[in-house]
Structure formats: structure tokens, C-alpha cells
């Protein structure tokens, strides 16, 4: 017997979602729907709002309607959120709201259409929890990376460049901004958080929200570890090339006056205490893992270039 059955629905159609929930009658619902690259949200904001914020609203309303019609009030819902909702924080400490590291009670200051959409989805979840009594949890995930990271993300651009420079396929790496600060968590740890911790969130007595975070490092730290691990000098091979920033682009969630606490921008102590979660892979191990993968990829690229050159030199084709 199949352990999994896939169902099809149109997430842009509220009636399709409601029909699916009525058909399946689930006990738990996990909304992992996303468009995770922030940059395109400046170009297609209406699409981002629909797939991130409005989809969450349709799902929550479908759950509310289903519970109201069937009395199945035990249904539990988990919303996967993003640390982008916090945006840059201007002060180290406000008397009524500590800002560093960022926790479940920190202020939201979204600075991109993607961040605004994630913030809206988060607020929808809280609203349905408080106004309609649904068991709804938010997981607020900070940035996470792995060797499978898309090549349109900065971390992967760096490690791809390291591999290609190492193999003699390119000579320089250009950056538009050297000042960024980011959380660099291992995606495997976060996937454990998504697959296991989101389930654990829904097993608690009361619904709540949880930050999932690791530790922050400056962009120059990532560059230095990646290049030096490959035996390269980043100061000789990395150049700044201004190409213009996106409107209100966020390079750091930490304001100028913010003081770091244990190298963290995100405070995952609640997830650790309540759910027992701790990251297993450290920053340097993560970077080296990504570099190893992209050096191997660059080796295959170089072999293909040499094979193609030999194919042409033989006069074939």
C-alpha cells in the first residue's frame, strides 16, 4: 500500500483549497509554499503577494470554514515564515522590546515585497489563532545554505567562483556590496527544523511561534573562509563593482548601534528549550562543504571544455 498520495489543487483558487481540505480531512497542515528569492519580489510584487501572503490567507480561511462546518476543531496548522519580516533593527535595546538577538517578540520592519508578504502571512496566522481559536503556529526561519543552494543566491555565487577560479575557468569575482551581514545556517539543520520541529510545534499543548536561527557572520568572513580553504587569496581575486542596489535593500538586520550577542541575530532559545532543537553544522564546516561541491563541479566543467576542444581539434563535426 502506498504510504503517500499526492493531491492536486490550485492555490490561487480558494474553492479548490477548501474542496481539497474537505476531501482529505487532515489532522495537520503545513504551509511551506514560498518564492524564496527576495530579489525578484521587487520586479513582480503582485505575484509574490499572491503566492506568499494570499495563499496563506486562503489556506487559513479554508481551515476555518472546514472546522466550522465539520466541528473538527483538533486540526493544527503550521506556517513556515522568514526572518526577512524583521528587516533592519535600528536600536540595540528598547525598554519594552529587546532587539538583539531577534526573537518571537521583536518588532517587524519588512523592507521588500517578499518580506512584507511574509509578514502579512505571519499576521494572518496570528489573527486566525486569536480571533477564531485555530491551533496555528509560525516558524520564523533565518537564512540557511547548502551545496544545493541555487546559483542565483550570493553564497553559491561565491563558492561557484571559488571553484571556477581554482580550476582556471575565471580570474576574478565581482561583488556589488562588501558590507553585508547574514545568518549562515546549514539547510540540513533547518530542514530538520521544518520536517521535525514544525511537527513538534503542532504537538505542543498550546500553539505558538518559534524562531529557528544559528549564528551571523559578515560577508567578508564567508569570502575569507571560502577562498582560503581553496588555497586562494580573496584580497587578490575579489573586486567591488557597483551595479546599483534594489530599493530599500537590506544588507543586515542589525542596526549601527546594535551589539552582537553570542554571534547571533536570531534568538532560537525558545525552540531549543521547548522543542529541543540545536544546529549541528557550524559556519566554517558549511562553507567548506559548499566549496568542496563547487570545486568538483568546476573540475567537471573543465574536463568538458577540454573534451570539446579535443573533439574540435580532431576535425570531427
C-alpha cell at 122: 505571519
Residue 51 near residue 40, CB atoms below 8 Å: no
Q: Is 82 assigned a catalytic role?
A: yes
Q: Is 114 assigned a catalytic role?
A: yes
Catalytic-labelled residue, pool 30, 77, 106, 114: 114
Can you say whether residue 197 is alpha, beta or left, with left for phi > 0 and alpha for psi between -120 and 50 degrees?
Answer: alpha
Catalytic-labelled residue, pool 82, 83, 112, 155: 82
Question: CA–CA distance from 271 to each of 122, 165, 223, 254 (Å)?
Answer: 17, 40, 30, 21
The 3-class secondary structure across the chain, one letter per residue, is: CCCCCCCCCCCCCHHHHHHHHHHHCCCEEEECCCCCCCHHHHCCHHHHHHHHHHHHHHHHHHHHHHHHHHCCCCCEEEEEEEHHHCCCECCCEECCEECCCECCCCCCCCCCHHHHHHHHHHHHHHHHHHHHCCEEEEEEECCEECCCCCCCCHHHHHHHHHHHHHCCCCCCEEECCCCCEEECEEHHHHHHHHHHHHHHHCCCCCCCEEEECCCEEEHHHHHHHHHHHCCCCHHHHEEECCCCCCCCCCCCCECCCCCCECCECECCHHHHHHHCCCCCCCHHHHHHHHHHHHHHHHHHHHHHHHHHHHHHHCCCC
Catalytic-labelled residue, pool 30, 41, 84, 252: 84
* Active site residue ranges: 82, 84, 114
Amino acid at each position: 500500500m502506498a504510504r503517500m498520495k499526492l493531491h492536486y489543487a490550485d492555490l490561487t483558487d480558494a474553492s479548490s483549497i477548501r474542496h481539497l481540505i474537505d476531501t482529505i480531512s487532515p489532522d495537520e497542515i503545513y504551509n511551506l509554499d514560498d518564492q524564496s528569492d527576495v530579489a525578484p519580489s521587487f520586479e513582480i510584487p503582485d505575484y509574490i503577494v499572491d503566492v506568499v501572503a494570499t495563499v496563506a490567507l486562503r489556506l487559513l480561511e479554508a481551515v476555518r470554514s472546514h472546522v466550522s462546518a465539520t466541528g473538527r476543531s483538533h486540526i493544527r496548522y503550521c506556517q513556515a515564515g522568514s526572518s526577512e519580516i524583521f528587516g533592519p533593527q535600528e536600536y540595540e535595546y528598547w525598554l519594552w522590546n529587546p532587539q538583539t538577538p531577534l526573537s518571537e517578540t521583536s518588532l517587524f520592519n519588512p523592507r521588500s515585497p517578499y518580506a512584507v508578504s511574509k509578514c502579512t502571512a505571519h499576521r494572518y496566522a496570528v489573527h486566525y489563532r486569536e480571533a477564531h481559536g485555530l491551533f496555528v503556529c509560525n516558524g520564523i526561519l533565518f537564512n540557511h545554505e547548502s551545496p544545493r543552494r541555487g546559483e542565483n543566491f550570493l553564497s553559491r555565487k561565491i563558492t561557484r567562483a571559488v571553484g571556477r577560479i581554482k580550476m582556471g575557468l575565471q580570474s576574478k569575482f565581482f561583488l556589488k556590496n562588501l558590507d553585508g551581514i547574514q545568518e549562515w545556517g546549514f539547510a540540513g539543520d533547518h530542514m530538520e527544523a521544518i520536517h521535525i520541529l514544525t511537527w513538534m510545534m503542532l504537538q505542543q499543548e498550546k500553539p505558538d511561534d518559534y524562531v529557528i536561527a544559528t549564528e551571523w557572520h559578515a560577508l567578508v568572513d564567508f569570502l575569507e573562509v571560502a577562498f582560503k580553504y581553496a588555497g586562494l587569496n580573496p584580497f587578490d581575486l575579489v573586486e567591488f563593482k557597483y551595479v546599483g542596489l534594489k530599493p530599500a535593500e537590506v544588507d543586515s538586520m542589525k542596526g549601527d548601534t546594535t551589539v552582537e550577542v553570542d554571534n547571533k541575530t536570531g534568538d532560537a532559545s525558545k525552540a531549543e528549550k521547548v522543542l529541543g532543537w540545536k544546529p549541528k553544522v557550524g559556519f566554517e564546516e558549511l562553507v567548506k562543504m559548499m566549496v568542496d561541491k563547487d570545486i568538483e563541479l568546476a573540475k567537471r566543467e573543465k574536463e568538458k571544455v577540454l573534451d570539446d576542444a579535443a573533439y574540435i581539434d580532431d576535425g570531427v563535426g
